[in-house]
Amino acid sequence: MAPSLEAVQLTKNFGSFTAVSGLDLKVQGTKCVGFLGPNGAGKTTTMKMFTGLIAATSGSALINGVDVSKDKKSALASCATLIETPEIYSSLTPKEALSMICEIRGVPKAERGKRIDEALGLVKMTEWENKRVGSFSKGMKQRVNVASTLLSDPEVIILDEPSTGLDPRGMSEVRSIVKSLSDRLVFMSSHLLAEVTEVCQEVALVDHGKLLVYDTLENVTARFSGGGGSVQVGFSRMVDEETASKVSKLQGVQGVTRSNDRHLIVRFDPKAVSQDKLFEGVAGLKAGAVSFEQASGLEDAYLSLIKETL
């Protein structure tokens, strides 16, 4: 049977606050599904329920049809996760770190060497396998983290914002690894549209703990884009909160979100402001804007579905 992840009315309350609200979602097959939503949407909380790190308040999470709360061990047998990026001891080499993880996970001794070699090969770290992790870039460390999820040869891989905190090169390395895992079911959260567009075939969009839509990238784009105008503004440096907030206050702007560290997607009402006036407004902020172009369909759809952003 094709690998699957399923949430049935999955709900998590923290006191009186509902972080995940009656989530119904079933993803199945070998593909990469993006779990997209702004910060605080409930992505990590959902993923923690899938991996049994926290208990659901109500509803259930199933991996390959097995309820995580009822039989965690067999539910997780074919699933690996990377949630809230763990630190690797800097004095260890990738080989040593992965051996330790194999031991903890109970990978049979006879298989460990082969599994470790394969995993390091997949993330292209073989060359570095005997160097100390302490000297690695964040991107290289994250590649070792991804390798650790591959040790048990999982059918289902849950990755929580795997490229967050990495520099552009590290991000691109992690993305190309995720793309190479196409023979498994990868469920990857992100708040970056460009990342999801590049890596995923399908997207589940959440906000305020609720599922807004789950469909193929093309269908989401076709169903929800259109109407208003959207542009992507590129900056010469990382966009800070202050800049984003100033852009969101320009005349005619309806919503602003991040496409990646250096790009904002700006949705505007064409009746209230023309594209060239908006361009002047953005340039007038003197915030380092260097490019201005039509946004893609997914960006447009995202902004029309998610009203308040940043």
Footprint of ligand ADP (CB under 6 A): 14, 17, 19, 37, 39-45
Give the one entry of ligand ADP, Mg ion, none that residue 19 binds, where binding means its C-beta sits below a cut-off of 5 to 8 angstroms depending on kind: ligand ADP
- Site residues for Mg ion, 52-71, by CB under 5 A, read none
Residue pair 178/32 in contact by the 8 Å Cβ criterion: yes
To the nearest whole angstrom, how small is the minimum distance from the Cβ of residue 42 to ligand ADP? Answer: 4
> DSSP E strands: which ranges in the chain?
4-14, 17-28, 31-36, 58-63, 66-67, 79-82, 156-160, 185-190, 202-207, 210-216, 229-235, 253-260, 263-268, 289-294
Give the one entry of ligand ADP, Mg ion, none that residue 40 binds, where binding means its C-beta sits below a cut-off of 5 to 8 angstroms depending on kind: ligand ADP
Give the one entry of Mg ion, ligand ADP, none that residue 247 binds, where binding means its C-beta sits below a cut-off of 5 to 8 angstroms depending on kind: none
Q: Could you say whether residue 46 binds Mg ion (CB under 5 A)?
A: no
Residue pair 125/146 in contact by the 8 Å Cβ criterion: no
Residue pair 196/204 in contact by the 8 Å Cβ criterion: no
Give the one entry of Mg ion, ligand ADP, none that residue 297 binds, where binding means its C-beta sits below a cut-off of 5 to 8 angstroms depending on kind: none
Give the one entry of Mg ion, ligand ADP, none that residue 91 binds, where binding means its C-beta sits below a cut-off of 5 to 8 angstroms depending on kind: none
- Cα-based angle 222, 228, 231 (whole degrees, multiple of 5): 90
- Judged by CB under 5 A, which of 5, 20, 42, 44 binds Mg ion? 44
Binding span for Mg ion by CB under 5 A among 15-23, 36-44, 89-97, 255-263: 36-44
Judging by beta carbons within 10 Å of its beta carbon (0-12, 13-18, 19+), is residue 174 exposed, middle or buried? buried
Q: What residue number has its CB nearest to Mg ion?
A: 44
Query: Which residues of this chain interact with Mg ion, rule CB under 5 A?
Result: 43-44
